Structure 1
Amino acid sequence: MSYIIYAIPFFFLLIALELLAEYVRKTDYYRTNDAINSLTAGVLSRMFGILKALVPFTLYVMLYENYALFSLGDNIWLGLVAFVLYDFCYYWNHRFGHEMSILWAAHVVHHSSEEYNLTTALRQTSGSFLSWIFYLPLAFLGVDPLLLLSVGSLNLIYQFWVHTRHIGRLGWLEWVFVTPSNHRAHHAQNQIYIDRNYGGVFIIWDRLFGSFQDELDEEPPIYGIRKALHSWNPIYANTHVYQQLIKDSWRTKAWSDKFKVWFGKTGWRPADMERDYPLGRVDLTRFEKFDIPLSTLRKVYGLIQHGLTTFIGLVFLLNITQLVVTQQILVIAWIVYASVSVGEILSVKRLGWWLEIVKYFFVLAVAITHPLPIWLSMTILAFALTSALMWPRLRKEHAHHANPEENEENIAITS
């Protein structure tokens, strides 16, 4: 079984504790817009995970039932062996996710934050379609499908806590386990840290296969990606590298390059693409984080909207077996829509204003026309009324920004 959904309350508890540490230590590791963007990506990842997991898992079960070389059973020691084997597979999945373009296109969203905190851990991809291949060897080794789900979820849960800057080096643990220190190095875009420290739970794989890099005091990590995202749109965050690969593959002249664009080393582009369509890169010598100044009202509104999206997502996951496929798809579509809407709100775009109105019109229509539990209807109504009370002042902010140069940079990067 998967333990992810049961861990979610503890994730938010730890985020709250990290925010308390932020306040006490007077650090600036959090920004509202970046944190909401990370959390939104996490919600979308859970939603799309439902749609894309069925076929790979069915294939795994088929291989396990027909071609398993061993019968490992289900005692605790074999569970620990499966846990270690899973992390070994994860290492190679993660490594290829950085070193092959088509896999990086899926994984890049996790690295796109220019902050590093516990919300970054939840900034997971929605577009990974090939990573499951790396775990198929476990079917041949006799790892039960349900055990695979269990150790996979535990592996992911472990990785949550290492996404913090409030914990320093941890002595001998640095030699065996993935820690906040060596994972901070993994998330850095400094040249010395690029493509290092791929382990999920155990750092020993990196030490064995030559991909380890210690965090250096003289080289503070600069977080983010070289081709900076410059957007709060979660769909763009999940698709921007795919978009670039499609363009390069279509435009380049050589047929071999059309293939190599996808399966070549990450960052490689055909010579004609580099010449005719050069890409801007981050200058780390004068690095500035992408930010759009927000009023306190807009920050609070964004948090409320993310709260609604997360709430509906959790209710959906807990009751998914009671919904038919059409209902599941509609709920997922609404969550995607709501995620884009809050991104536009954080970008101070007028489009966000209209998206919000349509969003709540649809929510209230469903609440009125469908027999929902009273607690669910009242919760949705509370979100709607609270949001509506904030709309007049938000509308004034949009009117203030309504000019020919309205967020020109943001319009350019999402076009």
Structure 2
Amino acid sequence: MHDATALLDTLATLPLAHCSGRPATGAYPDRLKPILSLAAHAEAMTEIADWPGYAPTPLIALPGLARAAGVGAIHYKQEAGRFGLGSFKALGGAYAVLRLLKKEIARRSGQQASSRDLLEGRFRDIVGNITVACATDGNHGRSVAWGAQMFGCQCVIYIHATVSEGRRAAIARYGAEVVRTAGNYDDAVRAADAAAKENGWFIVSDTSYPGYTDVPRDVMQGYSVMVEEALRQWPEAAPPTHVFVQGGVGGFAAAVCAQMWERLGDARGRLVLVEPDKAACLYASALAGAPTAVHGDLDTLMAGLACGEVSLIAWDVLEAGAADFLTVPDSSAVTCMRLLADAPYGDTPVVAGESAVAGLAGMLMAAARPDTAAALGLGPDSRVLFFGSEGATDPALYEQLVGRSAEAVERGAA
């Protein structure tokens, strides 16, 4: 166990950068509905709810931590158990694989297919000859590999130099061929794209770029299932005042933004994006007022957020809907992983991976700084929603950082 006061005091001293966005008011704009919408969400919800093992993940109240942070309520959507894959990404990559296969079946046979059709092996003569591929920091690739295995197509996943062996093995477990490349995540994206063009594969990427938007849109729409669950589970009389979300390429944050905005309008709460300071492409884009890449090795501990280039369609949503952009150091993630695991304020212990806690780190660091707290409107009446995007997706690294295994933490929660 770690000293709770020392952990919070440490967060108060770490460097925090803040940039204000320009969020629009009023109803969710019609111009954004071709990207993400409640109408498209309804299809995603229907399909995903029919997959084996579907169940809403829990929304965990953390009243003790809320008191310590000086806010009214904290609710943490725990995605560690999603379909046994360890992260929310199970919803996105696999759903995009399904959508792609359905389109190819319709194109090649003129017939319409559903999740149930593919799960039962119909159209295997078509599906078995299709190969999907992508680049990943770990979780997206695991979802694509799982979806390919579940629906019966082939799969090749590209990982970059710093992706851990544990995450590589977790992808390979679902039958995918895993190719490690030199360089960073964006280099792996380019390698996967080149191989797909050469071999006639289909790229299932969670980031969009010029000429490639349909599949990333499906990935993001899959994530909307998680957001809808959270809204249905929300226990407070009034909706969240703040939603702190992790950055990455922006697809996760855009799904949260769009679903809450179309559901709640101006009552959707203040959306705050949080990124590692070593891979802050959304923060750089907010400063520049346009999609802006950051370069270098992007070597952040928060591996799922090690992205240097913004997803263009995600940026369209976030530029309109995000209120604030924060960057936090890697050490803040370790501190927050320990805070959730130790539960020193009497809350339920929570297993959270490195990329799951960026939002929490941003909120706790902002709340400890009076000027930043005031700028973000954080105070004793704030009701804060977090999406705990992953559990211990690399169990060995988790134990190294927290000081005990995920299983030991879960036993403490039982």
Decide: shared fold, TM above 0.5. Answer: no
Larger RCO (CA within 8 A; separation ≥ 6): 2
Name the structure where helix makes up a greater proportion of residues. 1
- Which TM-score band applies after superposition, normalised by the shorter structure? under 0.3
Name the structure where strand makes up a greater proportion of residues. 2
In the superposition, the TM-score normalised over structure 2's length comes to 0.27
